[in-house]
């Protein structure tokens, strides 16, 4: 597969984006990931994306484990290879999600290995990802042990990673080698 837009090489990066590129590298294991090489074709969007994704990942009250379960489930629902490759297994395992659990997230019938709260959140993820409106019972079950703040954070996380998967898929951004 080949990206539909240019993944900017180092020498093609906008001169006024040097500080941003360094932040991106620092926040992403010292490498400028292809997602940012793509986004830097539109620097203001690259800034907004970087800030939003950092906020939904690192500045919330959600546990790292729950966050990774959500991201990986969305990745499987969307068939988002780029997202899955970034998170499975390295980031998932770092936040306490095993390879067996990652595998179970591929479809709804395997969700029994998760806690009641995690299953409720994953059902919420499914409904938000597949449609716009959420059934009151599904919302209530997901919200049962979460604060209003956490429900907002969870919903924005779901929306952000749906955006991520859809943009990466539509533009066919290539997976990095040797992650």
The pLDDT of 22-27, averaged and rounded, is 88
Token pair, residue 42, equals 């539109």
Q: Are residues 54 and 71 in the same domain?
A: no
Contact (Cβ atoms closer than 8 angstroms) between residue 179 and residue 86:
yes
Note whether residue 112 is domain-resident. Answer: yes
If you compute the radius of gyration of the chain from its CA atoms, what whole number of angstroms results? Answer: 17
pLDDT band at 85 (very low <50, low <70, confident <90, very high): very high
Contact (Cβ atoms closer than 8 angstroms) between residue 129 and residue 158:
yes
**Any long-range contacts for 28-36 (C-beta under 8 Å, 24+ apart)?**
31/176, 33/86, 33/176, 34/3, 34/7, 34/82, 34/173, 34/174, 34/175, 34/176, 35/82, 35/164, 35/168, 35/173
As for how many domains the chain has, the answer is 2
**Phi and psi at residue 147, to the nearest 5°:** -80, 170
Q: Are residues 52 and 88 in the same domain?
A: no
Q: What is the pTM of this model?
A: 0.94
Note whether residue 176 is domain-resident. Answer: no
Q: Are residues 75 and 154 in the same domain?
A: yes
Residue the block writes with tokens 């919420």 = 124
Q: Are residues 19 and 70 in the same domain?
A: no
Average pLDDT, the chain: 95
Range of the domain at 30: 10-58
Q: Are residues 112 and 73 in the same domain?
A: yes
| pLDDT at residue 111 is higher than 90 | no
């Amino acid at each position: 597969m080949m990206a539909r837009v240019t993944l900017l090489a180092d020498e093609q990066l906008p001169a006024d984006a040097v500080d941003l590129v360094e932040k991106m590298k620092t926040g992403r294991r010292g490498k400028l990931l292809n997602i940012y090489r793509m986004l830097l074709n539109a620097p203001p969007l690259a800034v907004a994306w970087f800030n939003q994704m950092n906020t939904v990942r690192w500045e919330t009250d959600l546990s790292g484990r729950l966050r990774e379960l959500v991201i990986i489930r969305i990745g499987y629902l969307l068939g988002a290879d780029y997202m899955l490759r970034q998170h499975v297994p390295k980031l998932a395992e770092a936040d306490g999600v095993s390879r067996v659990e990652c595998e179970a997230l591929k479809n709804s019938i395997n969700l029994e290995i998760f806690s009641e709260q995690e299953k409720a959140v994953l059902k919420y993820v499914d409904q938000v990802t597949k449609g716009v409106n959420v059934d009151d019972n599904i919302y209530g079950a997901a919200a049962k042990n979460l604060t209003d703040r956490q429900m907002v954070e969870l919903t924005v996380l779901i929306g952000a990673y749906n955006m991520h998967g859809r943009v990466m898929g539509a533009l066919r951004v290539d997976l990095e080698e040797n992650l």
